[in-house]
């Protein structure tokens, strides 16, 4: 039975969510909103049921999934990543419907890619619609903090016409629906997932650096779990969004100051964007809105990729959602 006690709201009125601390958001306990996906005792619920530890060791990774599926909404968690040598480790916080739509699934991802000692974690965002994994709409970033030292809030806003990613309430990526995209914009109901798993084949320098299990167990900690969206009855594919209670921590727009913060983040910390990859796309996909400052920063970071000089690219890694229960894998490139 779908738990319709979760807050429903009229998503068409939302543009962006960037204000308010996570403590003011509608936080759920694990048992209220989530179920274990895989990992046996490598998943541990702590702190009065409102925090979860996901562990990866030689035996298995682990993960959890929302009990309901959602047609749009705001989804958030505070996450603390493993420290020390983390090459090959992938922590994912994402939405997907791969179990229901195996050939034409939608997906919205945060992926955190571990690194060798002395090198920083990298963060990646991916968006797939209607099974468009071959197109690829990835962006990759550095961060202005060490995500293994403390908890930081990572959030996704998904509406009918746009998707916004946030880090600590700062919007870092705004993805707008365009007519030319057709079904490539995620539009079918999705579940929320969180996983930790072994991505040695691709995650760190294209698989050059693999997991070293002498540093295990690797533990990703999740708290401040938020599911605030339109829950869907999976048998009827019907939503219940008629009642829209106002939540004080959810604003209705993005201020000029907030947009400047997003632009500054992207200029300083973005390391890859498919829109500027001339080796991959001679003509940027139609939804791309190019920014001269972003382009300049990316050329300085990687002049080969972002000036159109072709080079050999490593094998792309696609992960099947159908194997999530055994391997904790989340679709990506």
CATH for 270: 2.60.120.200
Inside any domain, residue 97: yes
Residue 161 has pLDDT above 60, yes or no: yes
The pLDDT assigned to 60 comes to 98
Report residue 288 as tokens. 């791309």
Inside any domain, residue 306: no
CB 156 within 8 A of CB 75: yes
Residue 58 has pLDDT above 80, yes or no: yes
Inside any domain, residue 12: no
State the residue for tokens 């997003």: 262
Least confident of 112-126, 193-207, 236-250: 236-250
Strand partners, 65: 35, 193
Inside any domain, residue 48: yes
The pLDDT assigned to 14 comes to 34
Q: What is the pTM of this model?
A: 0.84
Report residue 176 as tokens. 């707008």
Inside any domain, residue 235: yes
**Tens-digit pLDDT profile for residues 43-55:** 999 988 999 999 9
DSSP one-letter string for 283-319: S--TT----HHHHHHHHHH-HHHHTT-----PPP---
**What's the rounded mean pLDDT across residues 156-171?**
91
**What's the rounded mean pLDDT across residues 18-27?**
59
Range of the domain at 38: 30-301
Residue 21: count of CB within 10 angstroms of its CB: 11
- Give the Cα separation of 91 and 40 in Å (integer): 17
**Tens-digit pLDDT profile for residues 283-329:** 998 899 999 989 999 999 999 889 844 443 333 333 433 333 333 33
Least confident of 28-42, 103-117, 276-290: 276-290
- Walk across the sheet containing 270-273 and list its strands: 34-38, 62-66, 191-198, 89-96, 107-113, 122-128, 139-141, 270-273
The pLDDT assigned to 12 comes to 32
Q: Of 187, 170, 225, 125, which Cα lies nearest the Cα of 17? A: 170
**What's the rounded mean pLDDT across residues 231-239?**
72
- Give the Cα separation of 17 and 74 in Å (integer): 8
**What's the rounded mean pLDDT across residues 156-181?**
91
Residue 24 has pLDDT above 70, yes or no: yes
The pLDDT assigned to 240 comes to 55
- Give the Cα separation of 209 and 198 in Å (integer): 12
Inside any domain, residue 332: no
Helix (H) or strand (E) holding 267: helix 256-269
Inside any domain, residue 246: yes
The pLDDT assigned to 40 comes to 97
Residue 282 has pLDDT above 60, yes or no: yes
Pairing of strands 69-80, 170-176: unpaired
The full length of the chain comes to 333
Total domains in the chain come to 1
The pLDDT assigned to 247 comes to 66
> What is the Cβ-side half-sphere exposure of residue 20, based on CA atoms within 13 angstroms?
17
The pLDDT assigned to 253 comes to 56
Average predicted confidence (pLDDT) for the chain? 83
Please give the positions annotated as active site.
107, 111
The pLDDT assigned to 182 comes to 80
Residue 23 has pLDDT above 80, yes or no: no
Burial 95-116 (b: 16+ CB within 10 A, else e): bbbbebbeeebbbbbbbbbbbe
Inside any domain, residue 179: yes
Residue 9 has pLDDT above 60, yes or no: no
Q: What Å distances lie between residue 269 and 21, 32, 164, 257, 300, CA to CA?
A: 23, 36, 17, 18, 12
- Give the Cα separation of 72 and 229 in Å (integer): 6
């Amino acid at each position: 039975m779908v738990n319709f006690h979760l807050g429903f709201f009229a998503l068409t009125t939302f543009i962006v969510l960037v204000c308010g601390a996570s403590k003011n958001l509608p936080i759920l306990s694990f048992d209220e909103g989530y179920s274990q996906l895989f990992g046996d005792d490598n998943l541990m619920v702590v702190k009065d049921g409102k925090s979860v530890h996901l562990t990866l060791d030689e035996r298995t990774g682990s993960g959890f999934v929302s009990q309901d599926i959602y047609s749009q909404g705001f989804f958030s968690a505070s996450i603390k990543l493993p420290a020390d040598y983390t090459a090959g480790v992938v922590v994912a916080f994402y939405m997907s419907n791969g179990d229901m739509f195996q050939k034409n699934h939608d997906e919205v991802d945060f992926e955190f890619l571990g690194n060798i000692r002395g090198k920083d974690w990298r963060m990646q965002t991916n968006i797939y619609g209607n099974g468009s994994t071959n197109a690829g709409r990835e962006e990759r970033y550095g961060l202005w903090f060490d995500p293994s030292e403390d908890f930081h809030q990572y959030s996704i806003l998904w509406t009918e016409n746009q998707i916004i990613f946030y880090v600590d309430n700062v919007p870092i990526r705004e993805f707008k629906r365009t007519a030319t995209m057709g079904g490539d914009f995620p539009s079918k109901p999705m579940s929320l997932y969180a996983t930790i798993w072994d991505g040695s084949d691709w995650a760190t320098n294209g698989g050059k650096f693999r997991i070293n299990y002498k540093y295990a167990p690797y533990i990703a900690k999740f708290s401040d779990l938020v599911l605030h969206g339109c829950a869907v009855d999976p048998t009827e594919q019907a939503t219940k969004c008629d009642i829209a209670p106002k939540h004080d921590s959810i604003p209705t727009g993005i201020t000029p100051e907030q947009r400047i913060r997003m632009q500054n983040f992207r200029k300083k910390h973005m390391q890859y964007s498919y829109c500027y990859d001339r080796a991959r796309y001679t003509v940027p996909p139609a939804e791309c809105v190019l920014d001269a400052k972003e382009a300049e920063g990316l050329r300085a970071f990687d002049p080969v990729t972002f000036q159109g000089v072709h080079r050999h690219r490593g094998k792309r890694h696609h992960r099947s959602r159908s194997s999530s229960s055994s391997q904790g894998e989340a679709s990506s490139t």
